[in-house]
Structure 1
Amino acid sequence: MKTTDIIRRAGRNLRRAKMRTLLTSIAIAVGGFAIMASLMAGEGARQYIDRLISSNIDAKAVFVVKDKRLIGAQSGQQADLREYNPDSINRYGNDYKALTQKDIDKLAARTDLEKVRPVYQLQPKYVSFAAKKDKKYSSDVSVFDGALAAEVVAGKQLGKGTELAAGEAVIPESHAETLGQSPAQMVGKQLTVTVVQTPQKIDEATLGQVFAEKGQAGVNELINGKELHKTFTIAAVTRKSADQTQAMRGIGINAKVARELSDYSTKGTSQYQKYMSATAVAKQDAEAAKKSLEHDGYAAATAKDLQQTLFRFVDILQAIVLCFGALALIVSIFGIVNTQYISVLERTQQIGLMKALGASRRDIGRLFRYEAAWVGLLGGALGVLGAWGAGVALNPVISEKLHFGDHKLLVFVPEHAAAVVAGLMLVAIIAGWLPSRKAAKLDPIEALRTE
């Protein structure tokens, strides 16, 4: 028998048992749906991550630290008893090797890096706004990153590469809402950041001298610490865009002013001019700069490292969903085997007649395997179409809820769909192997005698 004739005959046989064929195909479709949905979600997540990385991080950006634990290059719990390191910095109860001003100068002098900037850990005492003169607020204050294109609600446009002037500040839309003002009302108004200089250790002789010169007010200033008030004009109000990983949570200011505030608040302490990390831009290849930094005793991470970390997280989630799809397929395999065995028993006489008329064992085996392939094709098509339909229906809802903008989380890739259908057909053929083998081995005379 010709292969095309066997394929057509297999299709006709399945049409005679429509309900059984449909139910078996649906069992396969469940697994196919789960697999296709996970592939769509994985593709969408990867595209979204690519978009975030390209929009938020310069491809040549390099994140530099002294302590490898900060970027996951080294793990392990911190020992209870550690050798004292004068160049360490304490954060969240842990001691980390810190970058000193000497390190920053050394990085700035490198020929493979430019725009070296330490990450200032500003801890203002309070922030006050001209819009609410009678109140003081707590807020994060950090350097405004001009490498990112911020979505401006009101005020000065802040494209990539924009740097704030020394007296300018940027606030998030949430700050305006808390103050009961519209973004447009906040633009042009002033805010004041207050930082405190940590009180110094003072001996009795110094206290006596200060008291004699300035009185009790001078002594209080020494004991309680001096305050520095920096006033800024709000240049813009921003909000999170679909291409940003997160909204700006605090106030953004100029880098030089941030350094001034940081140096003032830590002067005379062990934390003076010590930084957990620094950012830089590679002049040529970021990966080459990273390797060179590691050779010199630093730890570094690039945009590619961040991308790979996020991809690894997506891969883990995708693998979990694929496991559920695989379980559904395993169940459907038993369904195919059972259905095919029943079909062999019901068509014993037909098989005997075909053999008596000259059909070979090979033709009989192929007939049942092709029937299984048809079931796999139908189930795969149903699963893939179901996943595509779910994507069309859910993408607008997901984009709205997660503020993805025009980005789709469930991305349908035709090549993936074809691979899923082909894979399910192969699984179905393998599942139908034993029943087809039984059918091929039937004795034609005994088969014709069966009632």
Structure 2
Amino acid sequence: MKTSDLIGSAVSNTFRSKTRTILTILAIFVGAFTLTLTSGLGTGINAYIDDTVSGVGASDAMSVTRTDDSAAGLPGPSDEPREYDPDAISSGVPGVTVIALTPDDIATLEGIDGVREVDPVRTITPDYIRAGDGTRFVAAVGSLIPGQTIVLAEGTEPDPATADLEVALPVAYVEALGFTSNDDAIGDTVTIGITDALRVAHTIDATIVGVAEDALASPTGSSILVNDALSDALFDAQSTGLTADQADRYASATVWFDPEATADEIQALKDRLADQGFTGTTVADQLGAITTVIDGIVLVLNAFAVIALLAAAFGIVNTLFMSVQERTREIGLMKAMGMGSGRVFTLFSLEAAFLGLLGSAIGAAIAMLAGSGISAALADGLLSDLPGLTLIAFDPTSIATIVLLVMVIAFLSGTLPAARAARADPVDSLRYE
């Protein structure tokens, strides 16, 4: 019997007992459906995280601060009062201070083995932002380091190379500042107020070039995003009245290292930084907890899917054992006509694989339809505050892998009854009543 004939016979034999076949396919369907849906959940969330990783920073950079040995954590209601430290400056987070980095610290960082480049991060604390003569709103200032991006609702990122003063607004500020839409804000002007060390108020006008969406890992949070020219103008205004030593104090610095560095080499660099009194934090450190939790949830859900597939595997074994018993005389006749044991084994194994193909294909297809509908509904409702997130996304390679995996499980489940059929003695089988 040719291979094509074997496949045709396997397909036709599968539907000899329609009820039993349908029940077996339904059992496989449950496992494939669950596995496809959980795989899509992991794909969607991890894709969103990957898209926003660049918002936190480049993979070959780490944020470095002075190690503060005087605090085990952020001050809380029950913590002892902390001694005043004249070297502490604002971290950019309200109520949180860090030990300032000085030019000497920057030079020390540049001399540490494994450090390729150091970019000091300045802290700018404006008083307010307003559009025209409208209401003044409190605002923080952020800027992008090389390798960072933001999720834009409209417009472009502020250009670091231009001398023009450019700003991108968080989407929450658009309506508050009096603009009717994101597009209406682009090209307009906002005024940023800032007070210097002598308590003299300064105002600086900047052009809106973009509107930034809220994102899971936004580099600036709810801060307005400025380009280098505007950052310099604000910092110079803020530093008026300060000596050079007082002005050149930084909340943190971005340290660049070899992009090909291994995890062990990155940890060794962190250890060398710690020896010099610094703490380094990479993108992986910042997002590690998030991805670990998500991967853990997906793993648990996948475990339930595997349990369902194992239950389906027993169903396949039962279905084929019954099929072998019902077709004992047929097996004897096939062997008597010259079909070898290998061909008999292949025939029943193909029937098992076909059951797996039907159940997994139907399960995957319905899971994709259900997942797409659920994801669209959540994007317009519960998850509307996370623009750009497709909660359940499907990767064709992953879907094909799931279908193939289920077919392999089905094939392996069918080997025991297939082996029994292959070992059947043709004389005894033909005598079977």
Gaps of 5+ in 1: 198-225
Contact 1:64 1:277 in 2 (8 A): yes
The one of 265, 270, 277 equivalent to 2:252 is: 277
Asked if residue 425 in structure 1 is aligned to residue 407 in structure 2, the reply is yes
User: Which moves more between the two structures, 299-308 or 370-379?
Assistant: 299-308
Q: Highest Rg: 1 or 2?
A: 1
Contact 2:154 2:212 in 1 (8 A): no
Contact 1:142 1:258 in 2 (8 A): no
Distance 1:49 1:266, change over 3 A: farther
Q: Which amino acid aligns with 2:254?
A: T
What are the residue-to-residue correspondences of 1:357-436 with 2, within 5 Å?
Answer: 363-390=343-370, 401=384, 402-404=386-388, 410-414=393-397, 416-436=398-418
Rounded Cα–Cα distance in structure 1 between residues aligned with 2:169 and 2:255: 24
Contact 2:204 2:234 in 1 (8 A): no
Rounded Cα–Cα distance in structure 1 between residues aligned with 2:84 and 2:213: 42
Gaps of 5+ in 2: none
The one of 202, 211, 216 equivalent to 1:230 is: 202
User: Which moves more between the two structures, 43-52 or 327-336?
Assistant: 43-52
Contact 1:116 1:279 in 2 (8 A): yes
Contact 1:287 1:302 in 2 (8 A): no
Rounded Cα–Cα distance in structure 1 between residues aligned with 2:124 and 2:95: 15
Contact 2:122 2:252 in 1 (8 A): yes
Q: TM-score, normalised by structure 1?
A: 0.66
CA deviations on 1:118-153 (whole Å, 9 max, x unpaired) are: 35274x6x53646556x664x341233365566485
Rounded Cα–Cα distance in structure 1 between residues aligned with 2:370 and 2:28: 17
Asked if residue 161 in structure 1 is aligned to residue 171 in structure 2, the reply is no
| Secondary structure of the corresponding residue to residue 189 of structure 2 | coil
Distance 1:448 1:84, change over 3 A: farther
Asked if residue 295 in structure 1 is aligned to residue 272 in structure 2, the reply is yes
Distance 1:84 1:103, change over 3 A: farther
Distance 1:361 1:285, change over 3 A: closer
| Secondary structure of the corresponding residue to residue 145 of structure 1 | coil
Q: Which amino acid aligns with 1:403?
A: P
Contact 2:215 2:387 in 1 (8 A): no
Rounded Cα–Cα distance in structure 2 between residues aligned with 1:275 and 1:303: 20
The one of 300, 313, 335 equivalent to 1:320 is: 300
CA deviations on 1:4-33 (whole Å, 9 max, x unpaired) are: 554433222113223432332232133223
What are the residue-to-residue correspondences of 1:63-82 with 2, within 5 Å?
Answer: 63-67=63-67
What are the residue-to-residue correspondences of 1:140-151 with 2, within 5 Å?
Answer: 140-145=139-144, 147=146, 151=152
Asked if residue 117 in structure 1 is aligned to residue 120 in structure 2, the reply is yes
Distance 1:293 1:161, change over 3 A: farther
Q: Which amino acid aligns with 2:202?
A: K
Q: Which amino acid aligns with 1:127?
A: Y
- What residue number does 1:209 align with? none
Distance 1:391 1:266, change over 3 A: farther
Deviation of 1:34 after TM superposition, in Å, equals: 2.9
Q: Which amino acid aligns with 1:16?
A: R
Contact 1:120 1:258 in 2 (8 A): no
Deviation of 1:329 after TM superposition, in Å, equals: 0.5
Contact 2:169 2:212 in 1 (8 A): no
CA deviations on 1:279-319 (whole Å, 9 max, x unpaired) are: 2555x658499655642433434456667776555543432
Q: Which amino acid aligns with 2:144?
A: D
Contact 2:190 2:208 in 1 (8 A): no
Distance 1:98 1:177, change over 3 A: same
Contact 2:153 2:211 in 1 (8 A): yes
Deviation of 1:374 after TM superposition, in Å, equals: 1.7
Distance 1:250 1:237, change over 3 A: farther
Contact 2:98 2:251 in 1 (8 A): yes
Deviation of 1:332 after TM superposition, in Å, equals: 0.9
User: Which moves more between the two structures, 388-397 or 290-299?
Assistant: 388-397
Deviation of 1:103 after TM superposition, in Å, equals: 5.2
Deviation of 1:427 after TM superposition, in Å, equals: 0.8
Contact 2:63 2:254 in 1 (8 A): yes
CA deviations on 1:75-119 (whole Å, 9 max, x unpaired) are: 9xx9x8999896678989999973432554325755955462235
User: Matched residue pairs, number?
Assistant: 403
Q: TM-score, normalised by structure 2?
A: 0.69
Contact 2:124 2:238 in 1 (8 A): yes
Q: Identity over the aligned pairs, expressed in percent? A: 25
Q: Which amino acid aligns with 2:408?
A: L
Distance 1:392 1:185, change over 3 A: closer
Asked if residue 100 in structure 1 is aligned to residue 101 in structure 2, the reply is yes
Rounded Cα–Cα distance in structure 2 between residues aligned with 1:324 and 1:263: 60
| Secondary structure of the corresponding residue to residue 249 of structure 1 | coil
Distance 1:281 1:257, change over 3 A: farther
CA deviations on 1:210-241 (whole Å, 9 max, x unpaired) are: xxxxxxxxxxxxxxxx8453322242164225
| Secondary structure of the corresponding residue to residue 410 of structure 1 | coil
| Secondary structure of the corresponding residue to residue 432 of structure 1 | helix
Rounded Cα–Cα distance in structure 2 between residues aligned with 1:286 and 1:260: 37
Rounded Cα–Cα distance in structure 1 between residues aligned with 2:241 and 2:20: 77
Q: Which amino acid aligns with 2:410?
A: A
- What residue number does 1:190 align with? 191
